[in-house]
Amino acid sequence: MARPPKTPRYIPFQKPSIPEDKKKKENKKQDKVSKKEEEKKKKKEGKEKQKYDKKKKKQTIDEKSQEVLGTACVLYTYPMEQFQICLADAEDIMVAVMLESEPTEPIKQSLTTFAEAFSKKFKKYIDDFSGKVSDFAPAKDLVDEHFNLFLIKPIILPLDPEVIKKANLNSAEHSIMKVANELSKERGFFFTARLIEEVIQKTKMPRDRIVKAIFGLNDKGLFNAVDIEQVAQFAERRMLWDQISEIKILTLEDKNLILEDLLVSTEDSRKIFLDRVQDFPKKKLTEQLIAEIENRKRIREERKIMFSQLDDSVKRDDFTTAAQLLSNIATLSAQLYENLVAQEFAERAQLFSQTAQEMRSRVPRLRQERNEAIDKARTMEIGGKYDEAAMLFDQASKLSVEIGEMEEARKYLEEVERMKNLKELASLREALK
């Protein structure tokens, strides 16, 4: 039979008897300690409250934007050491922008509307996301649209003047377009920062009115913002169009035909071709123009085949065949009015014939020099030394001409222009800080 559990014994604690005066002294002492502790606690709580208030001030939740848009998107701002992060928390995505200061209301609004637009446009890809980020490539257009990135990008004006005529410009926009056209003729493009300064200087128009008009021109599709990597290509197109437009007898279709041909022509060929066009009979201008351009295309195709054969001959150390091909390329280049190129290839053909043995070691050496120049140029570009990078790309272009690789030479000349534009953009960013 189990024993019943033991009942524990509890001995009540009895306070020892304390004389009355001693008790009073003890109570006073205790009160003092309590007051000090209370003050200390209040001070600590005050500091913590200040800390919390400061943090709360910086870490804000913008519920107003949620009410305006009727979406589940909420904004948060997180302060960092040197910048602020503004985060839009939407239903399926989170979008963040890094800022140098507290986000303004327009930035918050742009971030919220962008998050909403992104969620709608890419909902299918978000729901079925499997790691393929290329599905979201079109988001770049949304970024440009919602954050007005055209303000820091190179601007190209429309080629067709009819587009501008049909835009129904107000007086401020008309004045700004006049200055924009002048800037565009200098290099084929311009930045809005310089446009604003030029307009202020020439018209004394208030800055806020200029900025408002620039946004209006952009909304009307008159400002084509391009990436810095593409600006050389677009600027060249614009400047060639201006040259073609000086020939008043040409239709819009004629101009477009000539433009596409000039884009793949050398400078001397362009000039001679444009001079020849002006001598074409007006009655059959378009017909003769089409025939001329078709012939030039055929010559280029034939020459392109010879270039590939030339490369193959050099690799096989067949310098006799290479010399013949160079001679033929020189003849075709002359038919395209590329006289300087024709002369260069004719001289090279003679050189190949005379010093075949020397060229056997010369071409690989030149290629090696060119490749080293390109590698150094890329390193300089990464380090932000755009002037040095431009010089090295120019050197690579000249070496390519010497080898006979004209397409490569043209490519590296475009890199030279890109370095100049990157330097200008870097200066602009510094000025905007």
Same structural domain, 356 and 320: yes
* Position 11 confidence tier, pLDDT thresholds 50, 70, 90: very low
Q: Would you give the DSSP letter of residue 218?
A: H
CB 342 within 8 A of CB 331: yes
Dihedral sign, Cα of residue 321, residue 323, residue 325, residue 327: negative
Residue 49 lies in a domain: no
Contacts of 237 (CB under 8 A, 6+ apart): 156, 159, 188, 259, 263
Identify the domain boundary among 147, 178, 200: 147
Question: Of how many residues is the chain composed?
Answer: 433
Average predicted confidence (pLDDT) for the chain: 79
Please calculate the CA angle 353-355-357 and round it to the nearest 5 degrees.
Answer: 115
For position 230, which CATH number holds?
A: 1.10.10
CB 406 within 8 A of CB 307: yes
Higher pLDDT, 283 or 379: 379
Same structural domain, 262 and 181: no
- CA 196 to chain CA centroid, nearest Å: 21
Q: Is the pLDDT of residue 416 over 50?
A: yes
- What pLDDT does residue 6 have? 38
Residue 66 lies in a domain: yes
245-250 long-range Cβ contacts below 8 angstroms, 24+ apart: 245/161, 247/274, 247/277, 247/278, 249/278, 249/282, 249/285, 250/277, 250/285
What is the b/e burial string over 187-226, where b = at least 16 CB atoms within 10 angstroms of the residue's CB? bbbbbbeebbebbeeeeebeeeebeebbebbbeeebbbbb
User: What is the tens place of the pLDDT at every residue in 152-199?
Assistant: 788 888 888 778 888 888 889 889 999 998 888 888 888 888 998 999
Same structural domain, 227 and 280: no
Average pLDDT over residues 403-432: 85
- What pLDDT does residue 262 have? 92
Higher pLDDT, 257 or 40: 257
User: What is the tens place of the pLDDT at every residue in 16-68?
Assistant: 444 455 555 566 556 665 666 777 666 666 666 665 554 554 444 444 333 33
Identify the domain boundary among 147, 175, 202: 147
* Position 304 confidence tier, pLDDT thresholds 50, 70, 90: very high
154, 176, 313, 340, 402 from 180: Cα distances, Å: 12, 6, 50, 35, 40
Same structural domain, 260 and 339: yes
For the chain, percent of residues with pLDDT exceeding 90: 20
CA distance 220 to 215: 9
C-alpha dihedral over 282, 286, 292, 294, to 10 degrees? 180
Residue 185's domain comprises 150-237
User: What is the tens place of the pLDDT at every residue in 315-372?
Assistant: 776 778 888 999 999 999 999 999 888 998 998 888 877 766 666 567 788 889 999 9
User: What is the tens place of the pLDDT at every residue in 361-402?
Assistant: 677 888 899 999 999 999 999 888 999 999 999 999 999 888
Same structural domain, 162 and 99: no
Same structural domain, 221 and 113: no
- What pLDDT does residue 96 have? 76
Same structural domain, 409 and 288: yes
Residue 355 lies in a domain: yes
Residue 8 lies in a domain: no
The token duo for 281 is: 């009979």
- What pLDDT does residue 144 have? 66
Into how many domains does the chain fold?
3
